[in-house]
Amino acid sequence: MNSISLACKMIAAKISQAGLCNLYGMYGNTNATGDEQKKLDVLSNEIFKNCLISTMRVCILASEEDEEPIICEKSPKGKYMVVFDPLDGSSNIDSNGAIGTIFGIYKRTSAKDQKPTK
């Protein structure tokens, strides 16, 4: 949760500086759901991924911005899987509308983690 909190604070800081840093506008690609990506979408996604991967506790990340889930090779035995949309409502940025971050954290349960039954 600390890494998610840090990512959200970093994203909020970038949003508040967006006009000064030329972060408004389109990036030029589309995401996995077919929406056009904005510069802040791409930046927010990278911030979120970097913060979560650095914890070494996450084994899989899935973002709305990426087509495939990300397997965290530095922590293959991580206990958690995280799904997220780092900047939901990014189409509202230019009009000062509501934006936010959506995420879900799932504890890893696999055949390797379960005790054998007798």
Query: What percentage of the chain carries pLDDT values higher than 90?
Result: 39
Record the pTM. 0.75
Q: What is the C-alpha radius of gyration for the chain, rounded to an integer number of angstroms? A: 16
Beta-carbon neighbour count of residue 95 at 10 Å?
6
> Thinking of the domain 2-107, which architecture would CATH place it in?
2-Layer Sandwich (3.30)
**More confidently predicted of 117 and 78:** 78
Within the chain, where are the H helices?
A: 2-16, 39-53
Rounded-to-integer distance, Cα 106 and Cα 80, Å: 6
3-state secondary structure of 84: strand
Q: How much is the average pLDDT of 61-75?
A: 89
